[in-house]
Amino acid sequence: MPRIFKLAAIDLDGTLLGHDTRISATNGQAVARLQNAGLQVVLASGRHYKNMRRYAEQLPGVNWIVSCQGGEISNLDRNDILTTEFLPAIRVQEALTQGAALGFTITAYGMDEVLTNSPWNEHLQFYSDLAGCIPRFCSNQEILEQPIFKLLWMGFPADIERTLQQNLVDLRVVQMVRTHAKLLEFMPLRVSKASGLQILSEHLGLTPAETITFGDGDNDVPMFEWSGISVAMAHGWPAALRQATYISSAGPVDTALSRAVDLVFEKHLVISVGVPSRITSHRP
C-alpha cells in the first residue's frame, strides 16, 4: 500500500554527488521527480553550510540544509537558523592536542569557515579536492576562540584504522564517526543528521514516518534509523547497508541517487501529495 511521504533527506557525497563531486543531470532529475510527487527535499551532509549552499542552489525548490552532521539547520539564505550545536571548548582542545600527538592533519569547522592548524600537505590537498574548499591556516588559539561545530583528523587509512582499534578517544564525552577511509570526525554528543532532521521536521509540522532518507555512509545510519523508510546506495558502507530499509541497484556512483529514487517509485512506496511542483531540471 503506498504511503504518503512529505520529506526527502538526501546525503551529498556518494549519494547526490558523483565521483567528481558534481550533481549529474540524472540525479538532478531524480530530485525533481521526488518534488513533483509532493515531497520537500532537504540536503543533509557533514559538509559546512557554505560548501553545501552551492549544491542547494543548483536544485530549484530546495530550501533547507542540514549541515555539519546536524550541527546546524538553516534555510538556503541562512537568515533562518533553527539550531547550532558546537563542541565544548575543552573537547576541541583535547582533540587538537591528541590529534597532533598522533600525527594527524586537523581541520575545524567554525561558524563561517573551515580552519586548519596544519601546514599544507597531501591530506589537506585531499580534503580540498573532496570538499571543494581550502581551509584557512591559523593557530590553535584562534580555533579555540570561536565556536566549532566539529573537528576532523585526517591521515592514511591504516593510521585511522589503528586509532579506532586502540580506543584512544573517550566516547562518553565526544562523538566520533568515520566518514571516509582517511577521515575521523568529532562532534558533540547526540548530534547527528537524525537530530537535525527531527528539529527540521518539527519546524515543518512533519513526522519521521513521513520522511524518506537516502545515503551511503556510517554517518547516515542515525537518519536511517529515524526515518519512515531509507534507501542506501549499493556501494554504501556495511553499516548503512545493514540499517537501510532498501538498497539501490548497483551501477555508476554518478547516478546512484537516480537508481535509489527509481526503486522507491517501482515499489509504489510514494504517491503524490499536495500540488506537484512540476520542477523538471536542475541548474548546471
Whether 209 is covered by a domain: the verdict is yes
Strand order in the sheet with 229-232: 81-84, 72-75, 64-67, 40-44, 7-10, 211-215, 229-232, 246-247
Domain boundary at 187, 216, 231, which? 187
**Same domain assignment for residues 116 and 132:** yes
pLDDT score for 114: 97
Domain boundary at 167, 187, 207, which? 187
**Same domain assignment for residues 178 and 210:** no
Whether 224 is covered by a domain: the verdict is yes
Helices (H), 132-255: 140-144, 157-166, 193-204, 221-226, 238-243
Question: How many domains, the chain?
Answer: 2
> What's the CATH number where 180 sits?
3.30.1240.10
**Same domain assignment for residues 112 and 251:** no
**Same domain assignment for residues 95 and 61:** no
**Same domain assignment for residues 175 and 117:** yes
**Same domain assignment for residues 119 and 100:** yes
Cell of 127: 580534503
Whether 199 is covered by a domain: the verdict is yes
Is residue 264 a contact partner of residue 270, using CB atoms and an 8 Å limit? Answer: yes
**Same domain assignment for residues 73 and 150:** no
Whether 16 is covered by a domain: the verdict is yes
Q: Which residues contact 253 (CB under 8 A, 6 or more apart)?
A: 14, 18, 19, 233, 235
pLDDT score for 169: 83
Of residues 2, 76, 81, 1, the one with CA closest to residue 42: 76
Whether 14 is covered by a domain: the verdict is yes
Q: Which amino acid is at 173?
A: V
Note down the domain range covering 101.
Answer: 89-187
Running along the chain, 284 residues long, what does each successive block of 10 average in pLDDT?
84 95 97 95 97 96 97 97 96 95 97 96 95 94 97 96 87 89 94 97 96 96 96 96 96 96 83 41 38
Beta strands 246-247 and 229-232, pairing class: parallel
Distance CA 154, CA 184 (A): 7
pLDDT score for 276: 39
**Same domain assignment for residues 79 and 100:** no
pLDDT score for 83: 96
Domain boundary at 125, 152, 187, which? 187
**Same domain assignment for residues 180 and 212:** no
Q: Please name every residue paired with 106 in a beta bridge, in sequence order, or none if there are none.
A: 153
Whether 277 is covered by a domain: the verdict is no
pTM score, whole prediction: 0.91
Q: Which residues contact 243 (CB under 8 A, 6 or more apart)?
A: 221, 224, 225, 230, 232
pLDDT score for 45: 97
pLDDT score for 170: 80
Distance CA 90, CA 72 (A): 20
**Same domain assignment for residues 14 and 38:** yes
Whether 75 is covered by a domain: the verdict is yes
Whether 53 is covered by a domain: the verdict is yes
Distance CA 17, CA 279 (A): 19
> What's the CATH number where 52 sits?
3.40.50.1000
**Same domain assignment for residues 103 and 72:** no
Radius of gyration (C-alpha) of the chain in whole angstroms: 18
pLDDT score for 269: 66
Beta strands 136-137 and 114-116, pairing class: parallel
pLDDT score for 277: 37
**Same domain assignment for residues 52 and 106:** no
